Amino acid sequence: MCTPSRAALLTGRYPVRYGLEEGPEGYLLPVILHITSQSGLPADETTIASALTAANYTTGLVGKWHLGMNCTLFGRSCPGPLNYGFQSFYGIPVTLFQEFRGSHVFWKFPLHDRRFQGLAMAWMTAVVSLFLASRRKVLGYCTGVLLLLATHLILGVFWFIFAHSSMNSDCRWGVSAWLFRYANSRLFRGDQVVEAPIQLDGLSQRLVEESRRFLEAHAYDKTPFFLMHSFGHVHTPMFSAPHMAGRSKHGRYGDNVEEMDESVGKVLATLAELGLEDNTIVYFTSDQGGHLEAVEDNGERIGGHNGRFKGGKRQGGSEGGIRVPGIFRWPGHIPSGVTLDTPTSLMDLLPTLLSLAGLPQLHTLVPRAMGKELDGEDISEVLLKGAKGARTPRLFLHHCGMSLHAVRMDTGDHVYKMHLAKPKWWKGSTQCGWHHTTACDCHGANVTDLSSQPELYDLLSDPYEDYPPISPDSSEYKSVVHDLKDYVKQWRKGVTLPPSQLSTMANGLWKPFYQPHCLTC
C-alpha cells in the first residue's frame, strides 16, 4: 500500500515499527486519507532526505507524498515533507482518488431519509413559531431576525453533517464525495496550497517541468542534490493529457503507462542536457503491485496486471503485490543491461545510497538516529559487482497491515517463502472482488490463518507458486519452517510495536479546523 511502502523506502525501516500500517481492529484505514489526518511519519524518524541534508545535499520532492502533512490550526501551514529533510516540495499531499475526477453533488435533501424529514419538520416548526411570536409582538423585529438566522445556521450545520459526513450511507472514507474532493484535491508548493482542486489533465507535464526546473537550478551548484520525483501515474483515477489520450491499445491504463514513460524520458533527457547523467544515480521503482480488483463498471481494468504472479495490492504475502521494478542507472559504475535475481527491498535504498555516495553510515551521519535499527541493507556490492547480498541467509517480513502474513528467506541456493496467512480469494482468481473501491482484507474472517501449519514455497524453482507447496512431512519443510518461526519469535521479542496510527477514528477522520485553503485558487 502507498503509505507504508513509501515510509519503508524513505526510512529503511518496517512501517510496523512506528504504527504506519492498518490495525486489526478499529477504523481500518489502509492508508492516510485526509490532508488533515494526524497520522504520519513520527518526527523522530530519519529519512533519506534527512540524511542527505545532513551531508549538505540540496533536497527536493516533486509529486506524491502521502505520509502526513502535519497541518497547524486552521491549515495556516502544512509542512509535510519539509519536516522530514526535503527543502522544497511541489506536489500531491495525500494520493489521487477516484473522487478527484469530475464533479459531485453538494446539495442533497433526500426526504425518504428520516433525519432529513426531521430537519424539514424542525425548520418548519421554527419558522412558524418565530412568525407567530413576531405577529403577536412576543418578539421584537431584530430579535426575530437574529433567531431566524441562528435557526438556519444550526439546522444548516446539522444538514451538512447528515449530507456530507459518515452519517450518510452514501459517504465513503467518512465524508461525501463532494467533501472528499474539496478537502483533499489540492496541490502544494512548500507548505501552502497553490491549486484546488487539482487539474488532473496535464498534471504529469507540470510535475516534470517542476523537476526540470529543480535540476536546472542545482546542476552547477557546489553541493550535490537529491530529487525524489514521485509520479501521479499509474494510479486511479485514469487521466491523460490530450496528446496522450487514446494512444494505447490497452485503454486508459495503457495511456497512463505511456504518459509516465514520456515523463521518465523527459527527466532523463534533462540530466543528459545538463551533463549530469554520468554523475547521477537514478533509481526507478513502485510502491506496490497492481490493484487487481480495480475494474470500472464497464469492465475496463484500471488497476494494472501482475502477470503470472499471484495476487496484488493490499495482499501482504502475495508476489503480485510485492514484486515491483527496481531499476538502477549510474553510467560507468553500475553495469548496464544486467538483471539480478537477489531478493532486495525498498528499505535497502537508504543505506545503499549513502554507500554509493561515499557517505558515512546513517548513525554516524545523523546521531539522533542512533537506536533506530535499520531493516534495509547496503546492496551496493550487489549493484556494482553482481555479488550476493551482504549476508546469507537474509530474511524479509511481509506484513498486511500490522499482521505478519509471510516471511521470505534467501539462503543463496534457495529463496523460501512461508505463508502465515492468506486472503480468501474469489473462486478461480487471485483477487477479492471487482471494483476500484474493493481490496482484500488483512485481518478477520476473510483471511485464512495458516500459522499452525504454514505453506512453504521455494521461489527459485517455483516463482509463480504454481505448484503445491512443499510437503509438511518433508525434512526440508520441517527444518526451514522451524528456522523461520524461530526468527519471527526472536524478532518479535526484540521489537515493541506501537498501536496502528491508521486504525483510530481520532487520527483518521477529516478535521475541519486543520483544513488548508487557497484564497487565490
Instruction: Quote the number of domains for the chain.
Output: 1
Q: Is 135 a member of any domain? A: yes
Alpha carbon distance 204, 162 (integer Å)? 36
Which pLDDT does position 169 carry in this prediction? 55
* List of residues 6+ apart from 499 with CB closer than 8 A: 19, 23
156: in domain: yes
CA dihedral of 79, 81, 86, 88, whole degrees rounded to 10: -50
367, with CB counted inside 10 A (0-12, 13-18, 19+), is exposed
Residue 88 in this model has a pLDDT that exceeds 90: yes
Cis peptide before 393 (omega within 30 of 0): yes
Residues assigned a catalytic role: 2, 66
pLDDT category of residue 118 using cuts at 50, 70 and 90:
confident
Cα–Cα distance measured from residue 507 to residue 181, given in angstroms and rounded to the nearest whole number: 19
Three cell numbers, residue 470: 512443499
Mean pLDDT of 28-32: 80
Which pLDDT does position 369 carry in this prediction? 86
Q: Which residue has the higher pLDDT, 391 or 121?
A: 121
Residue 229 confidence class, pLDDT cut points 50, 70, 90: very high
Least confident of 29-43, 260-274, 413-427, 479-493: 29-43
Higher pLDDT, 479 or 179: 479
Range of the structural domain that residue 124 is part of: 114-175
Closest CA to 262 of 250, 274, 275, 245: 245
> Which range (189-193, 338-342, 488-492) has the least confidence?
338-342
| Residue 197 pLDDT grade (very low, low, confident, very high; cuts 50, 70, 90) | very high
Domain annotation covers residue 18? no
Q: Are 70 and 42 in contact (CB under 8 A)?
A: no
Instruction: Output phi, psi for 259, to 5 deg.
Output: -70, -40
Cα–Cα dist 5/287, whole Å:
5
Residue 216 lies in a domain: no
- Does any domain span residue 159? yes
Mean pLDDT of 350-364: 95
* pLDDT band with cut points at 50, 70 and 90 for residue 353: very high
pLDDT at 390: 54
* In a domain? residue 517: no
The model's pTM is: 0.90
What burial class does residue 175 get, using C-beta atoms within 10 Å of its C-beta: 0-12 exposed, 13-18 middle, 19+ buried? buried
Q: Is residue 268 part of a domain?
A: no
Predicted confidence at residue 167, as pLDDT, reads: 58
Identity of the amino acid at 210? E
Cell of 466: 504454481
Residue 153 lies in a domain: yes
Half-sphere exposure of 156 (CA within 13 A, CB side): 7
